[in-house]
């Protein structure tokens, strides 16, 4: 509520500042969900390009009235929670810091940031598991592909912001690091295969 009251004052300050430099300003109120919907994204792009073509400077702010949840829990918050969950799964204090590899936790944690990227990567995991029958190899491929999937599929027509990229890459590196013993066994030919028989 406070930000909704403060927003017009902030825009007035922007307007006064840029008016001194003969620059006309316009406000665009958006939410993170606007970028996940292709129609909205294309409409936003068209409006912003139109403003710039007419020498109008768009000032983009989050729509405080309708995006209360997004303001409280943006991508940074989700990323911090996701990476913390993965690290907690890998190094649980109550198990002597010996935990899992983090893939299942990442699959559960990242969809809220980029569900399409996670689903596409999960399909890759299933294909690799069906072809080579190594859960560890599928997980390694999943981790390698995760940043690429986010790069291509984060939102229609644009790539993820730097903080999302850094968080996803960090998680992927952690998962790969935890798979070192599996990678060693894969190279030596001693890794266990998946069995689909009863």
Check residue 156 and give its pLDDT.
65
Q: Does 174 score more than 60 pLDDT?
A: yes
| 29 Rama class: left (phi>0) / alpha (psi -120 to 50) / beta | beta
Are 93 and 180 within one domain?
yes
Are 86 and 143 within one domain?
yes
* Rounded average pLDDT over 89-105: 84
Residue 118: inside a domain: yes
- Per residue in 45-89, pLDDT tens? 788 888 888 888 888 776 665 555 444 445 666 777 788 888 888
**Boundary (domain end) residue, out of 31, 50, 71:** 71
Could you tell me the pLDDT band of residue 163, with boundaries at 50, 70 and 90?
confident
Range of the domain at 182: 73-188
Percent of the chain predicted with pLDDT > 70: 84
Check residue 72 and give its pLDDT.
47
Percent of the chain predicted with pLDDT > 90: 35
Higher pLDDT, 107 or 99: 107
- Per residue in 21-43, pLDDT tens? 898 998 887 776 666 677 887 78
CB-side neighbour CA atoms (13 Å) of 158: 14
Are 87 and 99 within one domain?
yes
Q: Does 164 score more than 60 pLDDT?
A: yes
**Boundary (domain end) residue, out of 24, 49, 71:** 71
Are 77 and 146 within one domain?
yes
Residue 194: inside a domain: no
DSSP state of 1: -
Residue 196: inside a domain: no
Could you tell me the pLDDT band of residue 198, with boundaries at 50, 70 and 90?
low
30-44, 49-63, 92-106, 118-132: which is most confident: 118-132
Q: Which residues contact 27 (CB under 8 A, 6 or more apart)?
A: 11, 58, 59, 60, 61
Residue whose structure tokens are 């810091």: 97
Average pLDDT, the chain: 83
Are 87 and 66 within one domain?
no
pTM of the entire structure? 0.61
């Amino acid at each position: 509520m406070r930000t909704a009251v403060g927003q017009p004052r902030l825009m007035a300050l922007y307007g006064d500042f840029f008016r001194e430099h003969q620059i006309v300003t316009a406000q665009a109120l958006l939410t993170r969900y606007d970028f996940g919907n292709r129609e909205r994204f294309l409409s936003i792009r068209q409006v912003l390009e139109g403003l710039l073509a007419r020498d109008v400077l768009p000032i983009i702010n989050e729509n405080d009235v309708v995006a209360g949840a997004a303001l409280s829990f943006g991508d940074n918050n989700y990323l911090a929670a996701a990476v913390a969950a993965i690290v907690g799964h890998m190094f649980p204090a109550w198990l002597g810091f010996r935990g899992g590899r983090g893939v299942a936790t990442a699959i559960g944690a990242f969809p809220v940031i980029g569900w399409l990227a996670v689903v596409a990567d999960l399909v890759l995991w299933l294909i690799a598991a069906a072809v080579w029958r190594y859960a560890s190899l599928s997980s390694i491929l999943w981790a390698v592909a995760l940043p690429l999937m986010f790069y291509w599929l984060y939102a229609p027509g644009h790539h993820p912001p730097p903080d999302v990229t850094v968080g996803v890459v960090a998680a992927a590196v952690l998962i790969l690091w935890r798979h070192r013993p599996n990678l060693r066994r894969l190279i030596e030919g001693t890794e266990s295969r998946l069995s689909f028989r009863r």
